[in-house]
């Protein structure tokens, strides 16, 4: 089952690693969107979230304090859902798409917390034990 957990961790973090690349490759575009949502220091926040997604993704994939990485991801994803995916303010197709993105972020936060728990109990193939193990 260690291999299954490792493969699951790798599949889970693909989205975060690609998102990190996007945050750095399209910083100005993403900062404009963040600013339109009222986020202060938009460019700095885009770069910071890209760094968090990249480092946490690598930490989970390689098993380096994956429990901490899972908690950090969840702490970023929930506010992200609430700030950027305000489906209750939309209508029609925009509402449906925004609600999908909101639900995706909450589901990813739940998955990140489940992985944090897994790292603290039986992390499988890792480079370090969990920080909170």
Q: Flag whether 53 is in a domain.
A: yes
Q: Give the whole-angstrom CA distance, residue 88 versus residue 32.
A: 22
The model's confidence at residue 133, banded by pLDDT at 50, 70 and 90, is low
Residues 115-129 have a mean pLDDT of 82
The model's confidence at residue 39, banded by pLDDT at 50, 70 and 90, is very high
Q: Give the whole-angstrom CA distance, residue 102 versus residue 9.
A: 22
- pLDDT value of position 126: 78
Q: Flag whether 126 is in a domain.
A: no
The domain tally of the chain equals: 1
Task: Judge whether 9 and 61 are in contact, CB under 8 Å.
Answer: yes
CA of 98: how far to CAs of 89, 91, 125, in Å?
9, 10, 36
Residues 53-68 have a mean pLDDT of 95
- pLDDT value of position 18: 98
Q: Flag whether 128 is in a domain.
A: no
Answer yes or no: is pLDDT of 59 > 80: yes
Range of the domain at 62: 2-121
Q: Flag whether 28 is in a domain.
A: yes
Percent of the chain with pLDDT strictly greater than 70: 99
**Residue 133, SS3 per DSSP:** coil
- Global pTM reads 0.90
**Residue 28, SS3 per DSSP:** helix
């Amino acid at each position: 089952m260690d291999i299954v957990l490792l493969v699951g961790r790798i599949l889970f973090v693909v989205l975060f690693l690609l998102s990190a690349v996007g945050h750095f490759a399209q910083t100005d575009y993403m900062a404009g969107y963040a600013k339109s949502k009222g986020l202060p220091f938009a460019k700095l926040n885009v770069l910071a979230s890209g760094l968090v997604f990249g480092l946490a993704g690598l930490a989970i994939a390689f098993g380096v304090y994956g429990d901490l990485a899972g908690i950090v991801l969840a702490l970023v994803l929930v506010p992200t859902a609430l700030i950027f995916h305000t489906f209750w303010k939309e209508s029609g197709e925009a509402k449906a798409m925004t609600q999908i993105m909101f639900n995706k972020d909450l589901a990813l936060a739940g998955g990140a917390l489940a992985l944090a728990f897994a790292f603290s109990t039986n992390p499988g193939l890792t480079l370090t034990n969990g920080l909170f193990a």
